[in-house]
Amino acid sequence: MDPWYPAAAPNKAAKTAGRYHEGMPFRGVLHTTESTTFSPRSDSYGGWHQSYPHFTLVERPSGVTIYQHIPIDTAARALLNVRGGVPTNHARAIQIEIVGRARQSAKLSEALIDALARWMRWVEEQAGVRRAAPLPFLGAEAYGAKGAGRMSFEEWMKFDAWCGHQHVPENKHWDPGHININELLRRGVDDGAISAARSVSPAAPMDEDLLYQVVNIELDGLADVYATPAGTKTVFQLADDAAGLRITGNTEIIDGGAWVEIVAGAGSRGWISAHNVAPATGPPPEYEVVGVRQDDVLNVRSGPGPRNDLAGSFQPGARSIVATGEAVDLRGDRWVRVRQTIEGWVNADFLAGTDEDFGVEFGGDLDMDPMSHGEIGDGED
């Protein structure tokens, strides 16, 4: 391991947290300073305190600078650690403070995103941090010791990928907010700073005999599948819990990123970033029809949306419905492609999981007036 980032400007910390705990994987933690300026000093971190991270990333009119305060083989001090609790700074957490505010982190400049992504690739190469972000990066709802997205002690102890201050147990801050983690993970490097093998490493080895699932997208998000590798034409989209995917064995490396060709359950074929697929942890989830009156039915359409032809219907409480993974957001509603005795598209608000291992509803509030969606009942759309 090279403990010093070659592209960083040195600004040695006045105080570190000492040695890491042994037997834990390295992980990366992103912070925001909640300030708009940073001045390197020798007596304190920016003139504020002694809670140094390993790095600080700041953008000025003259350009982007990364300062390194602590070598990555030594623990930083930017995380709260409760006496008698779980190790935080000492849990091999490599930390960077981005000068800015969490509420604005979704709008980082292109230059800053590029510098941060290059630094992340270097950390992955040196420390073995996994190129993944299993947890969504949230907004202010993540604030507090029990905020949304906060890891349990057990989850944190075995964590080996990228996360934010908002995910670390015992801590309360919600930084770095809605940072574009998918873009940061997608970008490779083109200057030879790290090995090509590491920079294009898929989320997992690709095996044509396995079923795959979508990973590393935000909860309730959609993953784009393109007509060509690294393309611009989206042929279909996959929901955040899409499973039952197969790969064809075709792979391409484009600008340092790995792309794989997949086939969804309905036979739709296209290309997706290898970072967004991984071997499935179980069989595809099954769903049942919910929120439909006993004297009504759930319409199944030939395409997403009520303007498409009627392909059939499901009875109230119908079970063993398998989602192919294809999904579309249409005027505030999520439409998913499913199959049972028939195949077609339904409004996802009327599906819920039947397996405890996957028991997450597709849709939202099932106490709503079901007729407001116009997708149940004869002729109601």
* pLDDT for position 20: 96
Mean pLDDT for 171-176 is 95
Looking at the DSSP bridge assignments, the partners of residue 68 are 10, 55
- pLDDT at position 373 over 60: no
Q: What is the CATH number of domain 286-373?
A: 2.30.30.40
pLDDT, greater one: 339 or 167: 167
pLDDT at 211: 78
Q: Which CATH architecture has domain 212-279?
A: Roll (2.30)
pLDDT tens string 218-248: 666 788 999 998 888 999 988 877 888 888 8
Q: What's the confidence (pLDDT) of residue 198?
A: 32
pLDDT band at 380 (very low <50, low <70, confident <90, very high): very low
> Does the pLDDT of residue 203 top 60, yes or no?
no
pLDDT tens string 279-325: 776 667 788 999 899 999 999 999 999 999 999 999 999 988 888 77
Cβ-contact 270, 214 below 8 angstroms: no
Whether residue 183 contacts residue 236, with contact meaning beta carbons closer than 8 Å, is answered with no
The fold of 9-198 is: Lysozyme-like (3.40.80)
Label residues 167-180 b or e (16+ Cβ within 10 Å = b): bbbbbebbbbbbbe
pLDDT at 359: 29
The pLDDT assigned to 205 comes to 46
Number of residues in the chain:
381
CATH 3.40.80 range(s) for the chain read 9-198
Q: Which value, to the nearest 10 degrees, does the dihedral of the CA atoms of residues 34, 35, 36, 39 take?
A: -130
pLDDT band for position 365 (50/70/90)? very low
Using CB atoms within 10 A of its CB, is residue 362 exposed (0-12), middle (13-18) or buried (19+)?
buried
Query: pTM value?
Result: 0.53
